[in-house]
Structure 1
Amino acid sequence: MHVNTAIKTGLLAAAISLSPFAAFAEESSNPLPGTFSGNIALTNNYIFRGVTQTAHDAAIQGGLDWDTGMGLHFGTWASSLDFQDGGQATTELDLYAGYGGKIDNFSYDVGFTYYWYPGAAKVTNYNFWEVYGKAGYDFGVASLTGFVAYTPSNTITNLDATYVQASFAIPVIPELSISGAVGYYFLEALKNPTDYNIGATLSVYDWFTVDARYYDTDVASECLVGTIKYCDARLVVAIKRTF
C-alpha cells in the first residue's frame, strides 16, 4: 500500500553546507525582494498525516523558502523515504507556492503543492498535486489553526481526496511549546482515516530545535503491508536547524 505523502538529495547537500551559504548571503547584495531561509533536519521516522513514509526508519530532510514580503511565498522541501517498493522512490521533493499574511492576530495562507518522487515509475502514480488553505488565530496563551487540502488524484485510490486538520500550540516558556493536531482524510472509495499527534518542541540556545511527538491513527490494523504497520502509534524525535 502506498499512501498520499507530503512533504531532494541535491537540495539536502546544499542545505548541509550551511555556513558557506550563510556567509555568502550576508556578503552579497540580494537583487530579489523579501527574505530567504532554509532548514535541515534529522528524524528517527518520517510520518505524514499519520502514515510512515520510511517504514519507520530514519530520514534526513531539508528545505529552502523565499518570502517576497508582499504576501507571495515560494519554497521547496525534501526528504529521504522508503516505500519498500524495491527502491523506485527514495526521495520526496515538494514544490510549493502560496499567498498569505496577517491581520492583527489572524493569519491566513492559500497555495499549491506538488509532490514529486524522482525515480518512481509512472505506473506507481506517486506524483500528485493539491491546493490548500490555512487560517489561524493567536490568542496569546495559545494559537489555533485550521487547514484543508484537496487533490483530484491521490496516490491511494487515484480519486478525489480532501484532508482537514485542526491544530493548537501553547507556549510554555520562550524556549518550549506544546502542540498537537487532529486530522481527517475524506478518501473516495475507502474508509476515511483519522490521525492525531501531540508533542513538545524545545529551542536549544537559538541554534536548533528538538521536537518529540507521539503519532497515532484509527486505522493501524488496516494499514498493514507485509510485516510493517504503516499507521500504528509511534514516538518520533526530530532535530532541526533553521538558517
Structure 2
Amino acid sequence: MKKLALLATALAMISGSASAADMAVKAYKAPPPVAFDPWDIAFGAAIMNDYVFRGVTQSNHKPSVAAYFEPRYNVNKDLQLYIGVAGESISFANRAAAEIDIYGGIRPTFGAFAFDIGVWGYLYPGGTCYYGGGATTDFAGRALSAECQANTLTNLNVMKKDVSFFEVYGKMNYTLNDMWTFGVTEFYSPNFLNTGAWGNYASVTGKFTAPSTTFGSSGVGMYVSGEFGRQWFGTSDSFYGVPAFPNGIHYADYNTWNIGVGFTYKVFTLDLRYSDTDMSKGDCNAFTSDFTASGTTNVTPINPAGLGSKWCGATGIAKLSVDLTAMSNLK
C-alpha cells in the first residue's frame, strides 16, 4: 500500500509539473509586429559664407541662407519616391529675390548601387530686365520691352527678368564599404537660365568617411569628399548677342572641381570646402552678367567689352547645416 501511495504521489507531481509548463507556454504572447510606415519627411536649413553652384557663386561671394522640405514615400526598403521644395538667398544681376527649387524623383537601390532620377526646377522670382546701353531693340532688331529699355546696369551687362529653368538629372552612388563611396552625376536643361542655350553637366564624386572611433566616444564624425565636373553649353538667344554674334553667343564650356572636409555631430554638419573652375574672367562675365564686373582687358570672342568677373574663380566655402527626418529625429 505504501508503495502504491508513493507511486500515486509521484504521478501527481509529474502531472502537476506538466500542467504548469503547458500553462506557461499558453500564457506567453509574442509582441505584435511593428507596422511599416512608408511616409517620412526630411527637412533642414543651412548658412554659408558663399553659395556656389558648379563653381560659380550665386551670392556675389556673400553669405547665403538655405532651407528645404522633402516628403518621402518608401515603397519598400529599396525604392523611395520624393518631392521637395528648397530656397536659397542669391545676388543676381537682375535682382531676383531668391532661388526657389521645386523637385521630385525616384531613388531605387540595388545592393551597393543607389540611384536618384528626377526633375529639378529653379525659379527666380522678383527679377528685373536689364539691357545694356539703353537700346530699344536687341541685336536681331526685335523691340525690347519698356522695362528693358529703362534699365541699364552700370557696366552695361544684360540680364533677363525671368531666368527660371529646369533640369532632368540622374545620379548613381556605389558604396564600396563603410568608408568609401563613389558616384557619377548627369544634369541636362534644354534652356539653361532661360538664356536659350542648352546646358549639360556631368561629374564624378568621391567620399571617404572616417571610422566612428576617430574622435573616441565624442559622437563627432568626419568625412573628406570631392567632385570634378564639366559644364557644356549651347548658343544663347539674341538677347545676349554681341556685334560679332548678333543671334546669340556660344557660352564657354568649363571644368569645375571642389574638395573639402566635413565634421558631423548628431544632426549638424560643418563643411569646409575649396571650389574653383578653369573659366576665364571674360567668359565668366559673358555667362553670369556679373553686375560687379569691371575692366577692359578680359576680351574674348563672346565678351568684346573686356569686362572681367571674379564670380567663377577660386573660393573657400564654410557651410553649417542641420538635417533631420521625421522617422529618425522626431519620434
Q: Give the TM-score band, short-chain normalised.
A: 0.7 to 0.9
Matches within 5 A, 1:78-227: 78-85=87-94, 87=95, 89-121=96-128, 123-140=160-177, 141-155=179-193, 157-174=195-212, 175-188=221-234, 189-204=250-265, 206-222=266-282, 223-224=284-285, 225=290, 226-227=293-294
Matches within 5 A, 1:50-69: 50-69=55-74
Residue deviations 1:116-168, cap 9 Å, x none? 01112474341001100111100013111111011110127422111101111
Residue deviations 1:154-205, cap 9 Å, x none? 127422111101111011233000000011011012221111000011013x
Q: Partner of 2:105: helix, strand, or coil?
A: strand
Provide the residue aligned with 2:28 in structure 1. none
User: How far apart, CA to CA, are the structure 2 residues paired with 1:74 and 1:210?
Assistant: 26
- What is the TM-score with the length of structure 1 in the denominator? 0.81
Q: Cα offset for 1:76?
A: 1.0
Q: 1:179 to 1:139 in 2, by over 3 A?
A: same
Q: Is this contact kept in 2: 1:178–1:199, CA < 8 A? A: yes
User: How far apart, CA to CA, are the structure 1 residues paired with 2:64 and 2:100?
Assistant: 13
- What is the TM-score with the length of structure 2 in the denominator? 0.60
The structure with the largest strand share of the pair is 1
Q: Cα offset for 1:37?
A: 1.4
Superposed CA RMSD? 1.7
Q: Partner of 1:36: helix, strand, or coil?
A: strand
Q: Is this contact kept in 2: 1:220–1:229, CA < 8 A? A: no
User: How far apart, CA to CA, are the structure 1 residues paired with 2:192 and 2:258?
Assistant: 22
Number of paired residues?
209
Provide the residue aligned with 1:35 in structure 2. 40
Provide the residue aligned with 2:51 in structure 1. 46
Give the gaps of 5 or more residues in structure 1: 1-31
Q: Cα offset for 1:33?
A: 4.1
Q: Cα offset for 1:67?
A: 1.4
User: How far apart, CA to CA, are the structure 2 residues paired with 1:124 and 1:159?
Assistant: 16
133-142 or 48-57, which deviates more: 133-142
Q: Partner of 1:155: helix, strand, or coil?
A: helix
Provide the residue aligned with 1:242 in structure 2. 323
Q: Cα offset for 1:211?
A: 0.2
Structure 1 stretches of at least 4 aligned residues deviating more than 4 Å after TM superposition: none
132-141 or 150-159, which deviates more: 150-159
User: How far apart, CA to CA, are the structure 1 residues paired with 2:267 and 2:187?
Assistant: 32
Rg comparison, structure with higher value:
2
Matched AA of 1:187:
F
Q: Cα offset for 1:73?
A: 0.7
User: How far apart, CA to CA, are the structure 1 residues paired with 2:269 and 2:41?
Assistant: 19
Q: Is this contact kept in 1: 2:125–2:162, CA < 8 A? A: no
Amino-acid identity (%): 27
